[in-house]
């Protein structure tokens, strides 16, 4: 069956077999990027790198090997620094896409440019928003100053850097040129979108033109033209693969034993397909429990590549608690694998504490 083969292939291509990627750099390149919000981004990396430690994430960011930028659908992604200019150029809407926000808050173009120069001068090293505001005399308060920071990030002149932990989103800011040593290299949009289409198909194919358009927020004609720049094969139902991937796709076999994944909200895999392409992940009768009305993927338990439940976590006095809620009672052969994933997640969220000090629980309903 085509659907079963797609599930096997896609899970492996996404690195969920835990063998495809050698480390964070490899994983980020392999899935194009992960949502930068904590803890979703680190949890997406953990799903692909079983030995991931919080220090590994901080090291990749502080070592300038990974950077947070506005990317697909202008959400903030953690992407490989080496590809950041291409992703940025391919997903940017325009030169001043946040003008509406500045105008709505009464920030004129002249005031914005004056504040932008001061912010960039202050942010030669990473500073949190309060420190940036404190370094600028007569800086506006509240939403007006936040809008200046957001606009600078959207323009690629400022980058969000790191947070104190993988459960915190108290990010710092730094001028892009100071942090990376140079501005993001400009790339013609057509060239960048064609690159992104190829990277997408290698990570998420087989996929349709509509899937690419949804994932990257492209118009359908632009998505189709970008895919046409690559040699592809339709494997059925309008689903395209890079031609060189077709032979291994046709040979794809399932894993030995049951395959269990606990993916976080906004995981790269679950966010990779438009509404018409989500059969590989969730049957129609459970899709509303896997995606919200805005198309955001919720935390999901996958068993053999198919949604079999949801899960949630919370922190209590620094201790992670994890609850898994299957749609149907899990077979005895599956529960041990779920429990192992819960322990791995608890360890990461608990900053490496041993399982005995990071209680977690799984609940069958």
Summarised one tens digit per residue, pLDDT across range 232-253 is: 999 999 999 999 999 999 988 7
The pLDDT assigned to 362 comes to: 43
Helix 189-204 vs helix 84-91: crossing angle, to nearest 10? 110
User: Mean pLDDT over residues 71-87, rounded?
Assistant: 97
Query: Which among 109, 82, 103, 79 is positioned nearest to 91, based on CA atoms?
Result: 79
Beta strands in the chain (DSSP E): 34-35, 66-70, 76-80, 127-128, 158-160, 172-175, 232-236, 239-242, 260-263, 300-303, 306-316, 319-326
Beta strands in 83-242 (DSSP E): 127-128, 158-160, 172-175, 232-236, 239-242
- Asked if 235 and 246 touch (Cβ cutoff 8 Å), the reply is yes
pLDDT grade for 139, boundaries at 50, 70 and 90: confident
Percent of the residues in the chain that have a pLDDT greater than 70, as a whole number: 94
| For residue 9, pLDDT beyond 60 | yes
How many alpha carbons lie under 13 Å from residue 302 in its C-beta half-sphere? 26
- What is the rounded distance in angstroms from the CA atom of residue 197 to the CA atom of residue 263? 24
The pLDDT assigned to 185 comes to: 96
Instruction: Please give the C-alpha separations between residue 51 and each of 55, 254, 284, in angstroms, as whole numbers.
Output: 11, 23, 34
- Asked if 325 and 309 touch (Cβ cutoff 8 Å), the reply is yes
The pLDDT assigned to 361 comes to: 41
The pLDDT assigned to 364 comes to: 39
The pLDDT assigned to 365 comes to: 35
The pLDDT assigned to 356 comes to: 31
Helix 209-216 vs helix 189-204: crossing angle, to nearest 10? 110
Per-residue model confidence as pLDDT tens digits over 177-196? 999 999 999 999 999 999 99
- What is the rounded distance in angstroms from the CA atom of residue 334 to the CA atom of residue 255? 14
pLDDT grade for 52, boundaries at 50, 70 and 90: very high
Lowest mean pLDDT among 125-129, 231-235, 311-315: 311-315
Using CB atoms within 10 A of its CB, is residue 324 exposed (0-12), middle (13-18) or buried (19+)?
buried
Per-residue model confidence as pLDDT tens digits over 345-361? 999 998 544 333 233 34
């Amino acid at each position: 069956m085509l659907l079963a083969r797609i599930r096997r292939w896609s899970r492996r291509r996404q690195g969920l077999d835990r063998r495809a990627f050698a480390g964070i750099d490899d994983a980020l390149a392999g899935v194009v990027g992960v949502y930068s919000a904590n803890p979703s981004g680190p949890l997406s990396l953990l799903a692909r790198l079983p030995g991931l430690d919080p220090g590994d994430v901080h090291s990749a960011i502080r070592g300038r090997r990974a950077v947070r930028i506005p990317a697909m659908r202008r959400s903030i992604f953690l992407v490989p620094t080496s590809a950041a200019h291409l992703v940025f150029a391919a997903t940017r809407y325009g030169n001043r896409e946040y003008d509406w926000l500045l105008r709505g808050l009464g920030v004129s173009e002249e005031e914005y440019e004056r504040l932008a120069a001061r912010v960039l001068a202050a942010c030669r090293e990473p500073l949190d928003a309060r420190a940036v505001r404190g370094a600028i005399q007569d800086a506006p308060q509240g939403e007006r100053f936040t809008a200046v920071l957001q606009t600078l990030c959207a323009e690629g002149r400022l980058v969000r850097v790191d947070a104190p932990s993988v459960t915190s989103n108290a990010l710092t800011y730094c001028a892009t040129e100071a942090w990376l040593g140079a501005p993001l290299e400009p790339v013609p949009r057509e060239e960048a979108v064609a690159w992104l289409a190829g990277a997408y198909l290698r990570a998420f194919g087989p996929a349709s033109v509509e899937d690419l358009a949804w994932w990257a927020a492209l118009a359908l004609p632009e998505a189709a033209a970008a895919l046409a720049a690559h040699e592809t094969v339709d494997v059925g139902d309008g689903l395209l693969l890079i031609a060189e991937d077709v032979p291994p796709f046709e040979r794809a076999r399932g894993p030995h034993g049951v395959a269990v994944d606990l993916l976080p909200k906004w995981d790269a895999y679950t966010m990779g397909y438009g509404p018409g392409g989500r059969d590989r992940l969730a049957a129609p009768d459970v899709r509303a429990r896997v995606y919200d009305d805005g198309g955001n993927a919720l935390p999901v338990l996958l068993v053999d590549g198919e949604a079999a439940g949801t899960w949630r976590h919370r922190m209590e006095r620094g201790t992670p608690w994890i609850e898994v809620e299957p749609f149907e009672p899990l077979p005895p052969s599956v529960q041990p694998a779920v429990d192992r994933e819960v322990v791995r997640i608890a360890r990461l969220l608990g900053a490496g504490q041993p399982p005995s000090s990071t209680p977690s629980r799984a609940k069958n309903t």
